[in-house]
Amino acid sequence: MIDRAGRPAAARAVKRLVEAAGLLLGVVAVSFLLFSVLPGDPARTILGPNASVEAVENLRRTLGTDRPLPEQFATYLGRLARLDLGRSIIDGRSVGAELTGRFRVSATLGLLAGLMAAGVSYAINLGVFLWPRLTPLYHLTRLGVVTPTYCSGVLAALLFGVLFPLVPLGGYGSADTAWALWLLPAAVAALYPAALMTGVLRQRIREAAASSFVRAAAATGAGPMRLFHATLLPVVAVSWLSVWVNQLSLIFVAAFVLEVIFTIPGVGLLLIRTVQDKDLPMLQGIILVNASFFIGLSSLSETLFDWLDPRRSVDASA
């Protein structure tokens, strides 16, 4: 029981890596199975509604989509083992190259939104802690979660067009995108996680504030600023941050939706088309990159949390 906590950090890291690899393999297998049942036929998609049945059958043979599923999966795994994500069935472009650029765009948006959400939840809780009169502000954040992302996204964009008629809203794909343009979709994507994180942080802080050692710290005459940062925050940090890591996945989903509204050339814009076209290599590529990102993030955060809060690793073995 003690072994997990007592094991050297390196061994634990290796173990995490093995687990992550296993999970990734699982994701690949499950998503392959899932998407192979999607309706549609890439050969028909390539040739369109006018092509003859023979032409489509010919192409299916060339593409290999007429092969049994296990064989297709084995071929795919073989290529993956050589670190080759393959090519799009629909138009032959390289999946790896396509995804690198797009994922970077989505990650920009997602992480920016994540930072905004964390910042808002921190700032509001600090504000309410220092000046209880600001409590209505806390309730205000909840407004962010009353409409679906696509609705707040479109309304925010239209409002922006009215308020700042001179600032182009778009052109996210080109090199001259202004930095500030990212803020609008990111803020919309941050609405939901900001509300949730503010709520969770507030709840945790109230609990912690009631505990004996915080009351003891307060009794020593530490100022509220110091009390918040030095005593309260460290206690609640891990659960707050784990909520953050948790929310990132949802933030990314929201970011995908916003990409469609704001025409941002990220993964989201690609995803819908890929599913409708049943472009399996591209789809698997998206899942794989997405999964690697989140699995990496969660391993990293686990390691970090262990370190931030040594109780966790001991506890985990109990």
Partner 1 sequence: MRRPDPRLWLPVALFAAAPFALMAAGEARDPFLVDTARAYLAPGPDQPFGTDALGRDLLARTLYAAGLSLKVVAQSVVLSLVLALLLGGAAGYAAGRPLDRVIGWTISLLYTVPFIFVVVAILTVLQPGLERAYVVIGCIGWAAPARLVRATVIELRGTRYVLAQRAFGFSPTQILTTTLLPRSLLPAVLSLAYFVPELIGIEVGLSFFGLGAPPPTPTLGRLIYDGLSEFQTAWWLSLTPAGVLLAMTASVLACTHLMLRGHVAPAPTP
Partner 2 sequence: MSTTSRGPLRWALVLLLATAGGWAAGCGGSGPEPAGAARELVVAADNDVTTLDPIRSQEPYSLRVIGQIFEGLVTLDADNGLEAVLAESWSHSETYDTWTFQIRRGVHFHEDDVFGEPRTREVTADDVAFSFERLVSPDSYPAFVLADTLAGVAEFQAGDAPGVAGITVTGPHTVEFRLQQPDPTFLHRITSPWFTVFPREAVEQGPDVFGRTKAVGTGPFRLVSRSDTEVVLKRNAGYWRPVDGDVERLVFRVIRNEQLRLSELRNGRLGIMSLPPALMPAMTDPDRPARNDGAVALRPELAEEFEALAFPTFNSHFVGFNCERLDVHLRRAISLGIDRHEVVSAITRGGATLAASTVPSGLLGYQPPYPDDVHDLERAREELRQSAFDPDNDRIQLLVHEQDNADLLGQLLQAQLARLGIEVDIQQLDYNTVVDRMIRGDTEAFVLALEYVFSAPEPILHNIFHSSKIPVPNFWHYANPAVDSALDDLRAVGDRETANRLAQDVERQIVDDAPAAFLYQSRHVVVFRGDFDGVAYNGHGTPLLWRVRLAEGDGGRE
Q: Which of partner 1, partner 2, none does residue 146 bind (CB under 5 to 8 Å by kind)? A: partner 1
Instruction: Verify binding: residue 50, partner 2, rule CB under 8 A.
Output: yes
Instruction: Verify binding: residue 15, partner 2, rule CB under 8 A.
Output: no
Residues 115-134 that bind partner 2 (CB under 8 A): 115, 118
**Element at 313 (helix H, strand E):** helix 311-316
CB burial readout 113-128, b (16+ within 10 A) else e: bbebbbebbbebbbeb
Interface pattern 207-226 for partner 2 (x via CB under 8 A): ------x-------------
Between CA 125 and CA 199 the distance in angstroms is 9
Other Cβ atoms less than 10 A from the Cβ of 6: the count is 10
Which one of the spans 14-22, 72-80, 103-111, 127-135 is the region binding partner 2 (CB under 8 A)?
Answer: 103-111
Residue pair 116/173 in contact by the 8 Å Cβ criterion:
no
| HSE value, Cβ hemisphere, 13 Å, CA-based, for 309 | 17
Instruction: Indicate which single residue of 6, 21, 234, 317 sits in contact with partner 2 (rule: CB under 8 A).
Output: 234
Interface ranges with partner 1 (CB under 8 A):
4, 22-23, 26-27, 30-31, 34-35, 37-39, 142, 145-151, 154-155, 158, 192, 195-196, 199-200, 203, 207, 210-212, 239, 242-243, 246, 249-250, 253-254, 256, 271-272, 275-276, 287, 290-291, 294-295, 298, 311-312, 315-318
Other Cβ atoms less than 10 A from the Cβ of 251: the count is 26
Q: Which of partner 2, partner 1, none does residue 87 bind (CB under 5 to 8 Å by kind)? A: partner 2
Nearer to partner 1, 52 or 212 (CB): 212
Nearer to partner 1, 225 or 300 (CB): 300
Sign of the CA dihedral with 20 first, then 25, 26, and 31 last: positive
Instruction: Verify binding: residue 310, partner 2, rule CB under 8 A.
Output: yes
Interface pattern 250-269 for partner 2 (x via CB under 8 A): ----------xxxxxx---x
Residue 126 makes CB contacts below 8 A (sequence gap 6+) with: 228
The angle at the Cα of 83, spanning 98 to 253, to the nearest 5 degrees, equals 45
